[in-house]
Amino acid sequence: MSGNTFGKLFTVTTAGESHGPGLMAIVDGCPPGLPLAAEDLQQDLDRRKPGTSRHTTQRQEADEVEILSGVFEGITTGCPIGLLIRNTDQRSKDYSAIKDLFRPAHADYGYHHKYGLRDYRGGGRSSARETAMRVAAGAIAKKWLATQGIQVRGYMSQLGPIGIPFESWDEVHNNAFFSPCAGKVPELEAYMDQLRRDQDSVGAKITVVAEGVMPGLGEPVFDRLDAELAHALMSINAVKGVEIGDGFASVTQRGTEHRDEMTPEGFLSNHAGGILGGISSGQPIVAHIALKPTSSITVPGRTITVDGEPVEMITKGRHDPCVGIRATPIAEAMMALVLMDHCLRHRAQNADVQVSTPVLPQL
């Protein structure tokens, strides 16, 4: 495969650039019989879409999705599901300013060397706009996972220097930051307002949790569930780190502290983040991702032209001062894609497996 298909059995193939006619996705391998409508996808698309608050890019995109195939009379048929989103707000602005130079810390330099040419309008294929189709496909996965009793949710756990304690899932959708803590929202807003005044950007940390996952998902030794999650989450624009469970905190932990002991009543802890030996343990699956600060800022920076000439530039246009703010639905989508793919892979090989051993909850 050439990089634009994700998954083994439940596969998502996407296409489309930031300022082209539109975005496409083909979702293959969805079991038949699932009720599905464009509205199911629109819900998550709206959570990701830009311009919903003053803290994100002001680009206006309805991100209206059309289902072109694979659904008949409101039910999936088992045939590939074709998705289409037309781009509506591609300003016919003049790109000559960035056409011949590489914006610092952007994909420009790599794309130029890889392909020899690039669609520089709004970043082309490397634009975060591409993630819209991940969210649309992820919504299909979420809906199917729900039929298996699996729920995938995420929240912002840190914005720049501000750690955000988890308080409640209900709060997450009451604010523009996907913050699970209402009390922190004013601080977050003040920080973002100052950041915009500084014309700077900042990083963020997102946490994604899957509950109701049965034990047994994951395909050792290379397609361990944690390895596939790392692949999925690290493939999101701007992500620079992935942790499962305690992640890097494990480095300083002792075995007596880290190991999750088991009792007939359940696991006594979940340092592992729900994955042991690359296979789900039945405990909640917990992953954290680090997103870097946006590179598109209006503070002048040094770079070079395609001819290697030095130049100082600022990145104009409409940008997110913190890409992490819109990343929660994307991270949820990627985790959902991985889990659905592994549910199918698991039952393909192990549909006949039966064990009398109890499935332990987390205490």
- Report if residue 180 touches a second copy, rule: CB under 8 A: no
Taking residues 309 to 338 in sequence order and writing x for each that binds a second copy by CB under 8 A, - otherwise, the string is xx----------------------------
Quick check: 28 and 141 in contact, CB under 8 A?
Answer: no
- Asked whether the bond before 251 is cis by omega within 30 degrees of 0, the reply is no
- Report if residue 219 touches a second copy, rule: CB under 8 A: yes
Looking at beta carbons only, is 170 or 353 nearer to a second copy? 353
d(CA 310, CA 303): 6
Segment near a second copy (CB under 8 A); pick from 43-51, 100-108, 171-179, 186-194: 100-108
255 labeled part of a ligand binding site: no
Least separation in angstroms between residue 282's CB and a second copy is: 7
Least separation in angstroms between residue 170's CB and a second copy is: 25
Q: Is 26 helix (H, G, I), strand (E, B) or coil?
A: strand
295 labeled part of a ligand binding site: yes
In which region does residue 118 sit, left (phi positive, over 0), alpha (psi from -120 to 50) or beta (all else)? beta
Select from 340, 349, 351, 344 the least CA-distant residue to 151. 340
Least separation in angstroms between residue 59's CB and a second copy is: 18
- Taking CB under 8 A as the criterion, which residues in 22-41 touch a second copy? 22-24, 26, 28-33
Q: Which residues contact 65 (CB under 8 A, 6 or more apart)?
A: 38, 41, 42, 45, 83, 84, 85, 136
In which region does residue 111 sit, left (phi positive, over 0), alpha (psi from -120 to 50) or beta (all else)? alpha
Least separation in angstroms between residue 44's CB and a second copy is: 18
d(CA 179, CA 186): 11
Select from 320, 311, 332 the least CA-distant residue to 292. 320
Q: How many CB atoms lie within 10 A of CB 153?
A: 18
125 labeled part of a ligand binding site: yes
- Of 301, 317, 318, 362, which one interacts with a second copy (CB under 8 A)? 301
Residues 27, 9, 226, 295: is their CA dihedral positive or negative? negative
- Report if residue 175 touches a second copy, rule: CB under 8 A: no
Burial class (CB in 10 A: 0-12, 13-18, 19+), 267: buried
- Of 218, 326, 328, 332, which one interacts with a second copy (CB under 8 A)? 218
Amino acid identity, position 66? E
Looking at beta carbons only, is 58 or 174 nearer to a second copy? 58
Looking at beta carbons only, is 79 or 174 nearer to a second copy? 79
Looking at beta carbons only, is 170 or 356 nearer to a second copy? 356
- Report if residue 281 touches a second copy, rule: CB under 8 A: yes
269 labeled part of a ligand binding site: no
Looking at beta carbons only, is 50 or 122 nearer to a second copy? 122
292 labeled part of a ligand binding site: yes
237 labeled part of a ligand binding site: yes
- Taking CB under 8 A as the criterion, which residues in 63-92 touch a second copy? 66, 68-70, 72, 75, 77-82, 84
d(CA 214, CA 229): 16
49 labeled part of a ligand binding site: no
- Taking CB under 8 A as the criterion, which residues in 142-161 touch a second copy? 158, 160-161
Q: Give ∠ CA 340-276-151 in degrees, rounded to 5.
A: 35
